[in-house]
Amino acid sequence: MTGSEASISEILARLVAVTSFDDVAAHAHEGKRSILNFLATALGSSADPAVAMAMATLAPLGGPPACSVIGRDERLDLLGAAFVNAVSANLLDFDDTHLETIIHPAAPVAAAALALAETHGCSGRDVLTAFILGVDVECRIGSAVSPGHYARGWHITSTCGVFGAAAASGKLLGLPAEKITHALGIAASQSAGLVENLPSAAKNVSVGNAARNGIFAALLAQNGYEAAPRSIEGPLGWARAMGDVLDLERLIRGLGRDWEIAANTYKPYPAGIVFHSVIDGCLKLRTRLAIDAVESVTVSGSPLLLARGDREVRNERDARVSIHHCAAVALLIGAAGVSEFSQDAVFRPDIVAFRKKVRAELDLALPDGASRVIIRLKSGEEFGETVVAARGSLSDPLSDADLEAKLRAALRQSGSPWNGECIIAAVWRLDELADMSSLLRHPRPAVAARGAR
């Protein structure tokens, strides 16, 4: 790339600046599905101690509580609310997944966009447009550095999410392309987050920061802060420092015509996406045999599956990225919902014992996301199941009704006082909402309904 060509930040910023709702209207429904799924997972985790701890840390330091914390009565300032809502949406790894990159696109972008929409009185169309653009920016940058980026230890939802949040925020603030360019460059200097920290609360910090710092980048750019022109692709810029060689062709392929939101997927199970085929395989096998007769379970998969999932299980976070736990609950209980990854399930003696029967094995012939489960009975008999496209993947997507059910189940799980039916109805007519904040400000059940819960 010569000095006279547009930089990556400029190319992406121009897209963000010029794109209108009409340009992305064909993808508005997928945007709504993503936002519904985001709200479902944020509601589901809204009572989690990790959310409460983050709020306890931020509330005394924060400014005017102008923004909703999803599922809760307390409110926080703009940056604090964006942080906490991204944390809760991503907490259980139950949010959406862009399969090419394993980015969870909505948590950083929707958390930033919804908080800004509340303080700036944006319409539902504004939010949908900004959200789709933010997802496009984060997933395009992520695709250009995949699969090496994640494999090297970068938590790609955090490291690329900050670009998406900056893009969406710049759009909602109505910044011109030049200032969005700077916002993306400022985002590059805030890009952080480690895979090593995934089984700990430190993961939440980088995901929350991605949303918070994306808004911060856009506000700084609005107020006059600038970034180096080639902060992403320059010789001492983001990609080189991160250890990546950018696939520029992938980054700009179909820009403004093809939208990454179309490749978004939603999870039926609150486990790492690569474990979904393991769960599917086990659920299928379960109907064919008596669990008491199982001697051993062998799960084969790609290096990604084994690198992430062949681990000791000491807590709920481990369980959600454990081959052994996913196989155990699917086979023993026949389900893999939020309850099956709770602390009770992690330490339930029969599950602990069954996890020990599960062995992980590398199979280089299997693509990422696929797995083969072979169950050997004490009799010596063997049963096998290979799943390449898991439920919830692009070729077997969750339906709108599945997503609604997921939100209702999340509300029951968390005990949040928010009104699920009101939220579901508002999301489906998001493009008609004049003021987005109406979605978040009054989602309480009527008193009678509340008493009836």
Kindly tell me which of 204 and 371 has the beta carbon lying closer to a copy of itself: 204
Q: DSSP secondary-structure letter at 195?
A: G
49 near a copy of itself, rule: CB under 8 A: yes
Work out whether 362 is an interface residue with a copy of itself (CB under 8 A): no
Among 102, 198, 294, 439, binds a copy of itself (CB under 8 A): 198
Applying CB under 8 A, does 234 fall inside the site for a copy of itself? yes
Which of 114, 195, 116 is CA-nearest to residue 157? 195
What are the b/e assignments for 46-58, b being 16+ CB within 10 Å? bebebbeebbeeb
Smallest separation (angstroms) from a copy of itself to the CB of 249 = 22
Burial bucket for residue 422 (CB in 10 Å: 0-12, 13-18, 19+): middle
10 near a copy of itself, rule: CB under 8 A: no
Q: Which of 94, 131, 238, 275 binds a copy of itself (CB under 8 A)?
A: 238
Q: At what angle do helices 49-58 and 202-222 cross, to 10 degrees?
A: 40
Size of interface with a copy of itself, in residues (CB under 8 A): 64
Which secondary-structure segment (H or E) carries 185? helix 177-188
Q: Which is nearer to a copy of itself, 184 or 332 (CB)?
A: 184
Q: Is residue 294 at the binding interface for a copy of itself, with CB under 8 A as the rule?
A: no
Give least dist CB 152 to a copy of itself, A.
Answer: 5
DSSP helix/strand/coil, 146: coil
**Residue 194 within binding range of a copy of itself, rule CB under 8 A:** yes
Question: Is residue 18 within a helix (H) or strand (E), and if so which, with residue range?
Answer: helix 8-18
Gap between the Cα atoms of 272 and 156, Å rounded = 14
Among 5, 26, 148, 152, binds a copy of itself (CB under 8 A): 152
- Give me the least distance between CB of 101 and a copy of itself, in Å please: 16
The answer to whether 63 contacts a copy of itself (rule: CB under 8 A) is yes
Per CB under 8 A, 121 contacts a copy of itself: no
Q: Does 354 bind a copy of itself (CB under 8 A)?
A: no
The verdict on 41 binding a copy of itself (CB under 8 A) reads no
Q: In this structure, how many other beta carbons lie within 10 angstroms of the beta carbon of residue 201? A: 14
In angstroms, rounded to a whole number, what is the distance separating the alpha carbons of residues 141 and 239?
10
- Single out the residue of 129, 204, 393, 416 in contact with a copy of itself (rule: CB under 8 A): 204
Relative to beta strand 358-362, strand 294-301 is parallel
Contact assessment for residue 303 and residue 233, using Cβ atoms and an 8 Å cutoff: no
CA atoms within 13 A on the CB side of 180: 30
Sole binder of a copy of itself in the list 227, 285, 358, 360 (CB under 8 A): 227
Helix (H) or strand (E) holding 407: helix 400-414
What single string gives the DSSP state of each residue in 333-351?
Answer: TS--SGGGGSHHHHH-HHH
Residue 245 engages a copy of itself in binding (rule: CB under 8 A): no
Give the nearest distance from C-beta 51 to a copy of itself in angstroms.
Answer: 11
When asked if residue 197 is in the footprint of a copy of itself (CB under 8 A), the reply is: yes
Q: Which residues bind a copy of itself (CB under 8 A)?
A: 49-50, 53-54, 56-57, 60-63, 77-79, 152-155, 158, 182, 185-186, 188-206, 209, 213, 216-217, 219-220, 223-228, 230-231, 234-238, 240-243, 307
